[in-house]
Structure 1
Amino acid sequence: MTSPSRRHVIIIGGGASGVLLTYQLLHRPTSDLRVTLIEQRPDIGRGIAYHTGNPDHLLNVRVSNMSALPDQPDHFWRWLNSHNADASLCPDPYCFVPRRIYGDYMASLFEQQTSDPTGARRLSILHATCVDINEGPAGGSVTLDDGRSLMADNVVLATGHDTRANLPAHANPWAPPSAAHIDTEATVLILGTGLTMVDYVLSLLRDGRRGPIIAMSRRGLLAKPHRHIDALRIEEADVPFGASISRLLRWLRGYIDRNAAQGGDWRSVIDGLRPYTQRLWHELSQTSKRRFLEHARAWWDVHRHRMAPEVEARIAEVLDRGQLALMAGKVISIEPNNTGARVKYRLRGHSDPLDIQVGAVVDCTGIVKDPRATLNPAVRSLFDRGLCRVDPLCIGIETDRNCAVISRAGATSRHLFAVGPLTRAAFWEINAIPDIRNQCAALAALLADTGGEASRRTAS
């Protein structure tokens, strides 16, 4: 194992979470640790969200909130101004730019590391797949698909969203529709009505789609649009931490109503609550968390995770002309055939089943709901070895508040950590850059300054 002055951290995953953590680790002023980043894709910093080349796929967070650096809130805005020759693309910090541009921004953070001689010596990038993770008394070890084994003081999972395997007659929601070879006149059924569905509809339209598009979810709710609204300042003392979910939602509705009576917008209240959402989640009882997931999550999501105004206009247009239809219902069965699939479904509030022939089914319901169903071999190995466990709600692996992984036996790891969406069980709102950047900065400080000792003290 390396000496204390040259500690070694391995990060599994080179998407946004991995890049943000790497950047923070290499910029700690008192640290001289080494970082090895393992990513199977050729591009660093793009992951699922930012690899898209479709210019219609915009960020769903405005530029002013998308800085990678917590201590420099205008960092992305300044980078955009210095790298973008077209000023009309983003005239002010309230704009929403194509996600591929944000991928360029993420990549630029890495270019800074590799171009600096000191940073380059401390950073290693391995394009490979991690197939196994283990933990010993002195640190962690990883095995790659090419047979190499690496040791480190700490190993951090930054694997991002875990996508589903495609079923027969299902098109890949993360690939261009042209790759699915769907007849442009055939009906396309999209499962889910969230932001992933919105992206795929935009992809279908860019690909020349002329046939009907049906988007179906349990409630048929569509994401709300952003507006040029500033977050309301909500005092911490006014937030009912530790309340039941029913009381918390009553408080939130009342706050929104009072703000609206004074001419305010509900968006400002939702955005003003953002600094407190992780603490609110942490202090909810398991019963309240479960009730939220079952009954209120869909409503929260459409108000919290919103569309850019330009995207709203495109979706409204295709809804108005009848090409896109939103349905509240549930799929009963999907039977593949020579022209796509026959789908049997039931509309919400109705008992009689209906059926329809579609050219393709696209599952845009989002991430894998139960982490134990993961296709990622690195995460799979932790479950197999008993080094991690799923949380009681089956939405993520269990970690403590310092991101340390908790084993099947309930022990807090001394060397294994996780960041990003995989930690939603502890942090809940940990999907977007503003939340992940703060988490990565805090973990970088812990690992660089104490080697994780603070987490061990917390566990004891």
Structure 2
Amino acid sequence: MHVAVVGSGFSGVAVAWQLLGRLPAGSSITMINGSGRFARGLAYGTHSADHLLNVPAARMSLDPAQPGHFVDWLRREDDAVDGHEFVSRQRYGDYLQSALEQRAAACAGVALRQRVALVDNCQPFPGGWQLSFADGTAAKFDAVILAIGHLAPRPPHPALAGLADYVADPWAAAALEELAPDAPVALIGSGLTMLDVLITLRARGHRGPVLALSRRGLLPQGHRRNEGPPKPWAIDPAIASSQPLRRQLRLFRAELARAHAAGVDWRDVWAAFRAETPKAWQALDARGRGQFLRHLLPYWDVHRHRAAPQARAVLEGDLASGRLRQAAGRVVSVQALDKRLQLGWRGRGKAGVETFDASCIVNCSGPSSAIDAGSSPLLWRLQQAGRLTPCAHGLGLLVDEGYRIRAASGEGQSGLHYIGPHLRAQLWEATAVPELREHAAALAAQLIKP
């Protein structure tokens, strides 16, 4: 069997790692991406050692069957490493690359190839799928797995597009290199991306004022220091089975109150609910999902996707010193003035417009998952050809129980699969390592079924 994996971030590495141990001798896996950075992706492709994992090392194993796999790898260089530590994301990328190379060496009967190329299109032919590349070449495979991750964030205001001092990609290596130490900076968004940019600024000696502006002005919560495994907590099953969103929310709040009364930290309740989240999401109808996305998503994100304690300490320090201003509101105008950008914004619940003169404006609104011609030409072409069904709420794409991408007819297509964060369209909880590694194992098992 010859399999193509398009995308080589965590999801691509995880499914290739699983396939290496399952495919019959004589098979091949071709990993394809356009950047040339394999085993990195958006999350682990950072160039900064100051960007930490948002999960303790003990929970970040690539292999669901070996929970200590990552910590054991770390201890080869430092046997004092604690599984409770929040290590650098750059280091985690090193681990993924090393683990994949070691797996390939141990499974010599299956060839692992890597190709740097942009995939333009994916079309069926009898018995498989053909990938067309931007350089005009094409290749045929028995099966194709799209492991496409998060898509680029959308501009928070149309006037920003094309401005020289607008940073559309906060992860670009040279994005902030020319910034003067005392330059004022506006960060649009106040979640984990904002925190990464703030840490990068401080590491480079930046001391100027920073405005972090988001619709609700919420900041990510932090993990506990020396965070161990969550304490067991029996979640009320009625939460996940309730259909109206209002009832789910009421029951969840009651659960948090019950835990608080028992001396249990709210983070442990969130951990207990994690396994039930897909069921709760699937219990909601289209109206309930829309209500959640409009009204509750920011509150969910800041509690569910927490910051490492060290990162949270930087945030608190900058707030206390006054260097960072946290604000709730929306961008209403952007003007390019002499050597600066004037950001006009209206505070939440206020009529007046405030301004902030910035040397640069950084888009920290977080990745998108809405499929269009600009965000992902490949997914867009599949959708236009009727070979992909997008989520009605713009959360990604739909798959069947075998991770086969659903065509416009609603049926899964044999040999065309997806794994990655766009699974949240159906499962919601599908963006982090603990869930994605399970999906990778399940997809690999489905692929080799007779």
Q: What's the TM-score, normalizing by structure 1?
A: 0.90
Q: Show the counterpart of 1:458.
A: none
1:80 is aligned, of 74, 77, 84, to: 74
Query: Cα RMSD between the aligned structures?
Result: 2.0
> What does 1:388-407 align with in structure 2 at a 5 Å threshold?
388-407=388-407
SS of 1:430's partner is coil
| 11-20 vs 43-52, which moves further | 43-52
**Unmatched tracts of structure 1, length 5 or more:** 1-6, 451-460
Q: Show the counterpart of 2:64.
A: 70
> What does 1:32-47 align with in structure 2 at a 5 Å threshold?
33-47=27-41
SS of 2:252's partner is helix
Q: Show the counterpart of 1:150.
A: 139
Q: Show the counterpart of 2:84.
A: 94
Report the alpha carbon displacement of residue 102 of structure 1 after superposing the two structures with TM: 0.4
SS of 1:134's partner is strand
Contact 1:162/1:374 (<8 A) preserved: no
Q: Show the counterpart of 1:20.
A: 14
Q: Show the counterpart of 2:158.
A: none
Q: Show the counterpart of 1:233.
A: 233
Report the alpha carbon displacement of residue 412 of structure 1 after superposing the two structures with TM: 2.3
Contact 2:369/2:422 (<8 A) preserved: no
SS of 2:276's partner is helix
Distance 2:447 2:175 in 1: 44
**Unmatched tracts of structure 2, length 5 or more:** 156-160
Distance 1:231 1:31 in 2: 44
| 183-192 vs 342-351, which moves further | 183-192
| 182-191 vs 312-321, which moves further | 182-191
Q: Show the counterpart of 1:193.
A: 190
**1:173 aligned onto 2:170:** yes
Contact 2:47/2:173 (<8 A) preserved: no
Distance 1:329 1:218 in 2: 5
Distance 1:234 1:32 in 2: 47
Q: Show the counterpart of 2:265.
A: 265
Distance 1:373 1:210 in 2: 39
Give 1 or 2: higher helix fraction.
1
Contact 1:177/1:203 (<8 A) preserved: no
Distance 2:373 2:342 in 1: 26
Cα separation, partners in 2 of 1:239 and 1:178, compared to 1, 3 Å? closer
Distance 1:353 1:250 in 2: 36
2:180 is aligned, of 183, 198, 223, to: 183
1:159 is aligned, of 143, 148, 159, to: 148
Contact 1:186/1:212 (<8 A) preserved: yes
Contact 1:177/1:204 (<8 A) preserved: no
Aligned residues: 439
Q: Show the counterpart of 2:42.
A: 48
Report the alpha carbon displacement of residue 176 of structure 1 after superposing the two structures with TM: 4.2
> What does 1:280-319 align with in structure 2 at a 5 Å threshold?
280-319=280-319
Summarize deviations over 1:420-440 as a string: whole Å, max 9, x none: 112221121211111110111
Contact 2:21/2:107 (<8 A) preserved: no
Contact 1:156/1:416 (<8 A) preserved: yes
Matched AA of 1:205: R
Q: What's the TM-score, normalizing by structure 2?
A: 0.92
Q: Give % identity.
A: 33
Q: Show the counterpart of 1:416.
A: 416
Summarize deviations over 1:369-424 as a string: whole Å, max 9, x none: 52125433322321232211321111112222332212234332122111111222
Contact 2:145/2:419 (<8 A) preserved: yes
1:139 is aligned, of 120, 128, 147, to: 128
**1:222 aligned onto 2:202:** no
Report the alpha carbon displacement of residue 149 of structure 1 after superposing the two structures with TM: 1.1
Q: Show the counterpart of 2:210.
A: 213
Distance 1:174 1:224 in 2: 22
